[in-house]
């Protein structure tokens, strides 16, 4: 089943990326990634936020995250971002639990832009305000680098590399996070987003495909993710509504 879904997602992405681009390359800075929402290069010129949910299915259970994430540009080179929400777990082997998730705070610094490639570097900290009942209340720290490169056909390719220290009880584990993606404009209102993210130590690998649709001052966003490793959900569905303030 997973292979069939994965094949369908890849086929869908190939067909979507064959569409003719319409947006200018600068417009695509406002189209944000799904899995690597925070691990990206552009610095915002406006305050923005996404609000919605992510449902993840695992072998023998599922989880639901409901919350918001967004960013604020302090100046032309520095952006601060954060995510906060409510997390619910339900597994066959034990009663379901729910509670507040940790507050994740990110910051990034814009390094360079030569007209085709944007490069930024950033850091992150997870503030342990969440509930231990849902695996929260841990302080994670890390840093990363990210880039966006504009291709001649209008598509934008993205990449990120991070080193993250995860709190695991009384110990810490270092994990490497690698992300790659592509943003392809389909029309003035719609863009498609494909991503691949893998993370060592926690055995997380996921391939996803999403749609970003501009509607007035808001953005309707949805994505389907397929887990390729034991530490990732078998299937993840994300749906959010984004606003610029």
Give per-residue burial for 148-187: e unless 16+ CB within 10 Å, then b: bebeeebbbbbbbebebebeeeeeeeebebbbebbbbbbe
- Under the banding of pLDDT at 50, 70 and 90, the label for residue 176 is very high
Give the three-class secondary structure for 39.
coil
**pLDDT, tens digit (0-9, with 9 covering 90-100), for 198-234:** 999 999 999 999 999 999 889 999 999 999 999 999 9
Q: Name the one residue in this structure whose structure tokens are 């291709």.
A: 151
> Cα–Cα distances in Å, from 106 out to 73, 83, 142, 184, 199?
12, 9, 9, 26, 18
pLDDT at 21: 54
Residue 158 has pLDDT above 90, yes or no: yes
- Under the banding of pLDDT at 50, 70 and 90, the label for residue 22 is low
Residue 115: partners with Cβ closer than 8 Å, 6 or more residues away: none
pLDDT at 57: 96
pLDDT at 4: 55
Q: Is the model's pTM score more than 0.75?
A: yes
């Amino acid at each position: 089943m997973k292979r069939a879904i994965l094949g369908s997602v890849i086929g869908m992405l190939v067909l979507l990326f064959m569409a003719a681009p319409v947006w200018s390359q600068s417009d695509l800075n406002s189209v944000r990634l799904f899995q690597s929402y925070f691990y990206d290069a552009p610095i915002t010129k406006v305050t923005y936020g996404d609000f919605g949910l992510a449902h993840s299915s695992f072998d023998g259970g599922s989880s639901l995250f409901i919350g918001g994430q967004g960013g604020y540009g302090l100046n032309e080179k520095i952006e601060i971002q954060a995510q906060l929400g409510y997390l619910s777990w339900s597994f066959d082997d034990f009663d379901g639990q729910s509670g507040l998730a940790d507050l994740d705070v990110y910051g990034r610094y814009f390094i360079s832009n030569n007209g085709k490639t944007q490069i930024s570097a950033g850091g992150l900290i997870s503030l342990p305000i969440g509930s231990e009942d849902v695996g929260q209340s841990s302080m994670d720290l890390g840093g990363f680098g990210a880039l966006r490169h504009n291709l001649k056909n209008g598509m934008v390719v993205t990449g990120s590399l991070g080193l993250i220290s995860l709190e695991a009880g009384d110990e810490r584990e270092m994990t490497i996070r690698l992300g790659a993606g592509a943003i392809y404009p389909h029309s003035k209102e719609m863009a498609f987003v494909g991503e691949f993210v893998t993370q060592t130590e926690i055995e997380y690998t996921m391939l996803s495909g999403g749609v970003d649709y501009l509607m007035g001052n808001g953005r309707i966003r949805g994505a389907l993710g397929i887990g390729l490793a034991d530490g990732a959900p078998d299937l993840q569905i994300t749906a959010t509504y984004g606003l610029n303030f």
